[in-house]
Amino acid sequence: MHKSDLVSLITLILLSNILVGCIAEPDLDSDGISDNNDNCREIFNSEQLNYDNDEFGDLCDEDDDNDLILDADDSHPFDITESSDLDGDGIGDNSDEDIDGDGTDNSYDAYPLDSTEQRDTDLDGIPNGIDNDDDDDGINDPDDQFDLTPYSSLLDKGPFVAGTKDLTFVSPRGYEITLQIWFPSIEESGSRVIYNNVFPGLALDDTTPDCSEPRPVSIYSHGFPSIRWGSAFLMEHLATHGFISIAPDHRYGTLLDANPDKLAELLLSMPLDIMESFDWLLDQSNSNGELNNCIVPGDGYSMIGHSTGGYASMMVSGAEIMTADLESGCADGNLISCNAIDFWSLNHDLNDTIQISDERVWASILLSPWNGTILNQGISSVSVPTLILTGDIDDTTVISEVTNTSVRLGSNLVNLGIFNNSGHYAFSPIACAARGCDGLLDVGISADLANVSAIIFLAQILDWPNSDEYQYPLSEHITWRYSMME
């Protein structure tokens, strides 16, 4: 065979083999995988990935995880357990604890698929966001002091369970202040508090504040010597009606550190303790803690003070110490007046008046108030509505002193209630337990009357719905001096 013929034959054989291979194993997408073995014949996919192991590879499979949801509509096309992600956070709805991404866990969210709604408090089928009466108590939300909690009578305990705890913060003046705080509790059961492990109370101890709606605030100031929970019964009662109350221990004035030689310093420090305590509460409400968003900062607070705490309550409510009164008292041998001049002069110019007031105070309740021997004419500068409760046989702040205070309050005095056969410690059960109140009005009776009087007074100042229908309690145990309002 001629050499050229041999070359032509070999070439023909090679071409035949190539043609035979092409015809036998076509590869339309040229990915090196024959069409017979290619799970996506028209799409280059040399890796041949196939999540669900069906006849179609991932690049040409319209339902990669074979969950019957097309990939175009599937938030997790490679996860047979997930197919939707409502809030777009990358977590499938079946495993997302907050499906709508509104910050409320599904288990607490009445509308887990609607980011604009979380609750239906009264379970009437209308979301709170569009329900005009969230608690279904017949009072429209804009007029309801607690629009998530049904209205309850002011003559009884309120609808909340009272909780309490104690804590400390550092005063801007550089020392620790111990606070007691009372509040509506999320928990409805638990151990009842024993204050300082010596005096039992009714509030649940160390529970969680319910901050589901804003709370009005009261601050309590104790007498000398006493302690922050001296009138805990009243703060516990207010908590059942939705109040947050705080009470600082006043340094040099408690049962644990009382120092008569420091009385002037105590008197001039008590108003600062109160204001700094409210500042602390504001900080807590603005922080990510248990009290977050629990109060409205601009709403301020009401004052409650027993004995010396009554003096402090008047001071933060606008009362002024007249320098002339201090100088006169000092000249007459009143060491408190002399020491007050000396202590104030250390850091301040001694002007005509000493003012330590807080314009955030909107009301004041004075329980057997003592003027500290340094308040007299300046009481008339109190600028908030005031209620006084006292005893007719109080031998600490005698009735004549309380009457003088009430007269100087002028038109700011809303009412004066005088408890019959009652002494100074009607509002401090721990003192009755320690010193005895034999033969006097039972402290349980005076506490009940004080509770009802206080909540009616505060509710009317706050203009709570239906509060104007209530009158101060009529009882053989209390006399109301309505004439003092004239």
Domains of the chain: 1-42 (no CATH), 162-485 (3.40.50.1820)
Q: Which pLDDT does position 2 carry in this prediction?
A: 61
With a CB cutoff of 8 Å and minimum separation 6, the contacts of 465 are 139, 143, 144, 145, 151
Query: How far is Cα 453 from Cα 184, in angstroms, rounded to an integer?
Result: 20
Residue 369 confidence (pLDDT) above 80: yes
pLDDT tens-place string over residues 308-330 = 999 999 999 999 999 999 999 99
Q: Which pLDDT does position 230 carry in this prediction?
A: 97
At 3, give phi and psi (nearest 5°): -60, -40
Query: How far is Cα 437 from Cα 431, in angstroms, rounded to an integer?
Result: 9
Q: Which pLDDT does position 4 carry in this prediction?
A: 62
Residue 484: band (very low, low, confident or very high) from pLDDT cuts 50, 70, 90: very low
Average model confidence (pLDDT) across the chain: 90
Residue 455 confidence (pLDDT) above 50: yes
Average pLDDT (99-126) is 83
What pairing do the DSSP bridges indicate for beta strands 478-480 and 217-221? unpaired
Asked whether the beta carbons of 163 and 203 are under 8 A apart, the reply is yes
Average pLDDT (28-44) is 82
Distances (CA, A) of 448 to 228, 244, 362, 368, 478: 20, 19, 24, 16, 11
Structure tokens at 163: 């909780």
3-class DSSP state for residue 173?
A: coil
Q: Which pLDDT does position 55 carry in this prediction?
A: 82
Residue 485 confidence (pLDDT) above 50: no
Q: Which pLDDT does position 51 carry in this prediction?
A: 86
pLDDT tens-place string over residues 49-60 = 888 788 887 888
Q: Which pLDDT does position 483 carry in this prediction?
A: 42
Asked whether the beta carbons of 327 and 374 are under 8 A apart, the reply is no
Average pLDDT (218-230) is 97
> 443-461 vs 232-240: helix axis angle to the nearest 10?
50
Query: How far is Cα 119 from Cα 134, in angstroms, rounded to an integer?
Result: 9
Cis peptide before 77 (omega within 30 of 0): no
Asked whether the beta carbons of 419 and 441 are under 8 A apart, the reply is yes
Most confident of 21-25, 106-110, 114-118, 261-265: 261-265
Distances (CA, A) of 261 to 148, 249, 337, 351: 50, 18, 12, 24
At 217, give phi and psi (nearest 5°): -120, 140
Query: How far is Cα 1 from Cα 215, in angstroms, rounded to an integer?
Result: 112
Residue 222 confidence (pLDDT) above 70: yes
Average pLDDT (332-341) is 95
Q: Which pLDDT does position 425 carry in this prediction?
A: 94
pLDDT tens-place string over residues 270-311 = 999 999 999 999 999 999 999 999 999 999 999 999 999 999
Average pLDDT (166-191) is 97
What pairing do the DSSP bridges indicate for beta strands 413-419 and 386-391? parallel
Asked whether the beta carbons of 141 and 148 are under 8 A apart, the reply is no
3-class DSSP state for residue 377?
A: helix
Q: Which pLDDT does position 482 carry in this prediction?
A: 61
Residue 486 confidence (pLDDT) above 50: no
Structure tokens at 315: 């001071």
On the 0-12 / 13-18 / 19+ scale of CB atoms within 10 A, 445 is middle
Please report where in the chains the tokens 């201090």 appear, as a residue.
Answer: 326
Asked whether the beta carbons of 266 and 231 are under 8 A apart, the reply is no
Query: How far is Cα 426 from Cα 396, in angstroms, rounded to an integer?
Result: 12
Residue 17 confidence (pLDDT) above 60: no
Query: How far is Cα 268 from Cα 24, in angstroms, rounded to an integer?
Result: 104
Asked whether the beta carbons of 337 and 326 are under 8 A apart, the reply is yes
